A and B are shown apart, each in its own frame.
Chain A
Amino acid sequence: MISTPRRSRSTLSGERWLRGLLLAATLVSTVAVFSILGFLVYFCLPLADPARLAAVASCTWQPFQGQFGILPMVVGSLSLAAGALVLAFPMGVGICCLAHGLAPRAVARALLVLIHFMASIPTVIYAFVSVFLLVPLMRQWFERGSGFSLLSAALTLAVLVLPTIVLLIHIRFEQIDPPLRLASAALGFSPAGELLWVILPLSGRGLAAAAVLGFGRAIGDTMISLMVAGNAPQFPTSMLDSIRTLTAQIALVVATDSQTPAYHSIFACGLILFLATGVVSLTIRRLRLPSRESLFHAKNA
């Protein structure tokens, strides 16, 4: 007869404590997120007035003239995040391909160590180095403007989001069954062919998740856009134009003001950023990979 070991009273009470502790942590996190949303919505309530809403959702930011339009910042944030992603994503895919078969093992290992290290560098360091190295170079090369531009910020931000993208794609590549990779090699695929025709097609959703998370990381960054993008509240017409992002706008206004109506417009900026991040998270959740089990259930349905 099989007997189940009786659990002692102390083990049971320990488990209860642990469960309670985890539940409390979950509640605190959930309440915090919803409180932030509630707080932002509450402070944005004055914008329910159509005249005020029109003032904030306009194209000109001239607070001394009573114009509090944040649309240039919305466009600035979106174009900077998109620019950084366009630069970083192909680079990330390339690095992962190098690390998973194209480069010799020692090089691949060194590359991944470097990427892990890059992830730990504070943002302000990237921005700081960019101000003193990249910005003067841009000024020299293009002989236009101050060098503090959408392009400079996008290049710097691309370096910042690169580890996020690489590590996500790397994890997806690693999840692909090693036996499947061996079978591909046995069929005669070269390492490049294996990556191109087996690994990359199987990583579609992982690649999309990496792009979405990279975008989320880029749109949420403050330091690089604040220090490198030039902070001109205008719609960019070229990559060499200065821009101001929503995050930089919040930082600048909070640092200089706390009384005027301009101060209150930053809550709208915050709400837009919060919602953008929320959309990114939800998109990632929807991109969850179909597991082998779900295919199994589909087969047996």
Chain B
Amino acid sequence: MERADLSPREPSVQIADLAVHFAGRAALHGINLTLEAGQMTVVIGPSGSGKTTLLRAINRLNECFPNCRTVGTVRIRLDGRWVDAYRDFRPVAELRRRVGMVFQTPNVLPCSIEKNLSIPLIRVAGLSKSRLPGRIEWALREVELWDEVKDRLRHNALTLSGGQQQRLCLARALALKPQVLLLDEPTASLDFRATQKIERLLLKLRDRYTILAISHSLGQTRRLADRVIVLRDGRLAEQFDREHLEDAETFEALLEEIF
């Protein structure tokens, strides 16, 4: 099995004095944060507190929106070398390939399951056609989708169920061999069973990637997070480590204090 090249418990992403403004209005300010390799950090906070903006600041996706201005630094350790996300990547395609993202609602391309994986692999990662089938199978096995779709790879991806589509989106990101994964409420639009399956997958992937995820479910946060950060009004309000999450009552009491 191919593995991401990460040494656990080493810093993987360093965010310093990060501020993001949209049309002059601050969505995030004064964010200082370090993400460690092989850890899942879960961001929680009320709606509009800047959770999605924080995720999008790491892969520079905020730039796709008009009148966005970002200050501060986001440094990422890729293949053992620290690079500045905002200065060392021109164009940003390579950064976004190495920092995979999965969105709230599954957004598969309305073409075949195979093409959903092969188009980015060929066009973005420049993978040769001979290595394509192997990588596609590897990515689909990673998200436990291979057995379900191996006989219908040419079918339209929109014919998959919501949970399968979301796993395909995760496979699409993993196929590009990222080191950091950004998950923007990946189970928000899924039913209980599909959510369970994705959570199980994330627990499996947690040790091999640096994961920053958003969740609105406190139960899910407790099940998945190595660390929890709380955002409020675009600021980092609080951070919890694993030991704070063990006891449900204490964790909920802490959160009640914050919200």
Using a CB–CB cutoff of 8 Å, the interface residues on chain B facing chain A are 59, 61, 64, 66, 91-97, 100-101, 103, 105, 107, 109-111, 119-120, 123-125, 156, 158-159, 169, 172-173, 176
Contact = CB atoms under 8 A, between A and B. Distances in A.
Contacts of A295: 110, 156, 158-159
B132 to A, nearest CB: 15
Interface of A: 105, 177, 179-190, 193, 197-198, 201-202, 292, 295-296, 298-299
Q: Interface residues of A: mostly helix, strand, loop or mixed? A: helix
8 contacts: A105-B66, A179-B107, A180-B109, A184-B109, A185-B61, A190-B93, A198-B119, A296-B158
Contacts of A197: 119, 123
A188 B97 contact: yes
A292 B158 contact: yes
A299 B158 contact: yes
Given A177-B107, A179-B103, A197-B123, A186 B59 contact: yes
B66 to A, nearest CB: 6
A146 to B, nearest CB: 50
Nearest to B122: A197
A47 to B, nearest CB: 49
Contacts of B123: 189, 193, 197
A187 B103 contact: no
Nearest to A178: B64
A188 B93 contact: yes
Contacts of B64: 181-182, 185
A39 B109 CA distance: 50
A179 B107 CA distance: 7
Contacts of A181: 64
Given A197-B119, A201-B111, A299-B158, A189 B105 contact: no
A111 B117 CA distance: 35
